[in-house]
Amino acid sequence: MRIARIDLDGAARAAIVADGAVRPLPEEVGVLDLLGAEPAERERLAARATTELALDEVRLLAPVQPPSMRDFSVFEAHVAGAVKVTGGPEAEVFPIWYERPFCYFSNPTEVSGPDAEIAAPPGSVQLDLELEVAAIIGRAGRDVAPGDAAAHIAGYTIWNDWSSRDLAARELRLPFGFCKAKDFANTLGPWIVTPDELEPYRDGDRLDLAMKATINGAELGGDTLASMAWSFEELVAFASMGASVAVGDVIGSGTCGGGCLYELWGHAQALEPPPLQPGDVVTLDVAGIGTLTNTVVAQTVAPLEFPPARTTRSAATAEARS
C-alpha cells in the first residue's frame, strides 16, 4: 500500500495511491490511523475511499506530519567524504563512528512535500541536498529489541534532509550539534510505502533499493540502501532505548554515498560542484518508493544580527566571590 496526504479543496486528507490514481479517504481517517493499524484493519480503512482522482491532478503534501524526527548517519561512503572537508584529503572516518549508531533530532515543524520550494536559511550561501530513506513508526514502543523492531515500522519514504553547510561549519565548533543549519527544511515524500511492497528488494536485514540524486537533470551520485552499516530495525531499537517512539515518528538513514554535495566537496577539496542556487531542481529517486522533486528559491529574509555575549556582570560576580 502507498499512503499519501493530499491537498483536497484546501484541506489535508489522507489518501491511497495505486495505478496512477489517488483515492482520498474520509476526513475522519488520518494518516496516523493508517500507520497505526494492523494490515487487515488498514485495508478496511483504505476501502472507505469512495472517489478516485488522477495522480497528476492532485497536489501531494508530505505524507506525514511527524511527532519527532531522528536522523542517523549510517553510510560509510558518505562519512568518508564528509570528514575530508575539514580534515583534509587524508582524513579517515572517526573510529567512534563504527562503535554504535548515533542520531540527532531534526525539526518536525518545518516539513514540506513534493514540489515544495526550498530556500536556504537567512545568511547561508552553501545550501545542500541530502538523499535519505526514512522509516515511519507505526507502533509505539520503548526499549524495543532489534528482533522485534520490524513490527514497529509501518513503511518507508524518501527524506531530503536539506543542510546549510556554512552554518553547520560554524555550529560544529561548539559541542552541541546542529541547530540553524538543519532546522529550516525537511522534505518527505512522495508517499509512504508499506514494508510488504518492498519485500522483493530484501537482502537479509537490508533493503537493496537503488538511490540516485540529480540536480537539473544531471546525476550527482547514488548508492543502494543495502549499504547501511546498521539496519533500520537496529536504528529503531537504538532510538527506543530508554525513550519512546510514537506512531508517525520518522527514523532517517542519513545521507547515502554520493547523495549530497558536501561529500563530493571533501573528495575535491573545493566547492565543486557548487552549492545549490535559486532555480536549481533537485530530484531524489529511490527504487520501490518513487521520486521526490523540489526547486530551490531565493531567501528573502535577511539574517538577524546579534551582539556578542555580555559577560561583564558574571565576570565581576566571579571576581567578587573569589
Secondary structure of the chain in HEC code, one letter for each residue: CEEEEEEECCEEEEEEEECCEEEECCCCCCHHHHHHCCHHHHHHHHCCCCCCEEHHHCEEECCCCCCCEEEECCCHHHHHHHHHHHHCCCCCCCHHHHCCCCEEECCCCCEECCCCEEECCCCCCCEECCEEEEEEECCCEECCCHHHHHHHEEEEEEEECCEEHHHHHHHCCCCCCCCCCCCCCEEEEEEEECHHHHHHHEECCEECCEEEEEECCEEEEEEEHHHCCCCHHHHHHHHHCCCEECCCCEEECCCCCCCCHHHHHHHHCCCCCCCECCCCEEEEEECCCEEEEEEEECCCCCCCCCCCCCCHHHHHHHHHHC
pLDDT at 317 exceeding the cut of 70? no
**Distance between CA atoms of residues 244 and 99, nearest Å:** 23
Tell me, what's the pLDDT at 243? 98
Q: Are residues 42 and 165 in the same domain?
A: no
pLDDT in tens, 175-224: 888 999 999 999 999 999 999 999 999 999 999 999 999 999 999 999 99
**Distance between CA atoms of residues 59 and 124, nearest Å:** 29
Q: Are residues 54 and 74 in the same domain?
A: no
State the total domains in the chain.
2
Residue 320 lies in a domain: no
Q: Residue 186 belongs to what domain range?
A: 69-297
Q: Are residues 245 and 287 in the same domain?
A: yes
Q: Are residues 212 and 278 in the same domain?
A: yes
pLDDT at 314 exceeding the cut of 70? no
pLDDT at 255 exceeding the cut of 80? yes
Q: Are residues 221 and 95 in the same domain?
A: yes
Whether the pTM exceeds 0.85: the reply is yes
Burial class (CB in 10 A: 0-12, 13-18, 19+), 241: exposed
Residue 169 lies in a domain: yes
Q: Are residues 186 and 276 in the same domain?
A: yes
Query: 161, 262 in Cβ contact below 8 A?
Result: no
Q: Are residues 15 and 127 in the same domain?
A: no
**Distance between CA atoms of residues 106 and 93, nearest Å:** 23
Mean pLDDT of the chain: 95
Q: Are residues 46 and 77 in the same domain?
A: no
pLDDT in tens, 28-44: 999 999 999 999 999 99
Q: Are residues 268 and 158 in the same domain?
A: yes
Burial class (CB in 10 A: 0-12, 13-18, 19+), 266: buried
Residue 317 lies in a domain: no
**CATH code: domain of residue 200:** 3.90.850.10
Tell me, what's the pLDDT at 177? 86
Residue 305 lies in a domain: no
Query: 296, 118 in Cβ contact below 8 A?
Result: yes
Q: pLDDT class for 26, splitting at 50, 70, 90?
A: very high
Domain's final residue, options 61, 81, 108: 61
Burial class (CB in 10 A: 0-12, 13-18, 19+), 196: exposed
Residue 201 lies in a domain: yes
Query: 282, 218 in Cβ contact below 8 A?
Result: no
Residue 242 lies in a domain: yes
Residue 302 lies in a domain: no
Tell me, what's the pLDDT at 50? 87
Q: Are residues 292 and 261 in the same domain?
A: yes
Tell me, what's the pLDDT at 311? 85
Residue 74 lies in a domain: yes
pLDDT in tens, 64-85: 999 999 999 999 999 999 999 9
Domain's final residue, options 30, 61, 92: 61
pLDDT at 95 exceeding the cut of 60? yes
pLDDT at 321 exceeding the cut of 90? no
Q: Are residues 18 and 163 in the same domain?
A: no
pLDDT at 244 exceeding the cut of 70? yes
Identify the CA nearest to 234 among candidates 131, 150, 151, 154: 150
Q: Are residues 201 and 183 in the same domain?
A: yes
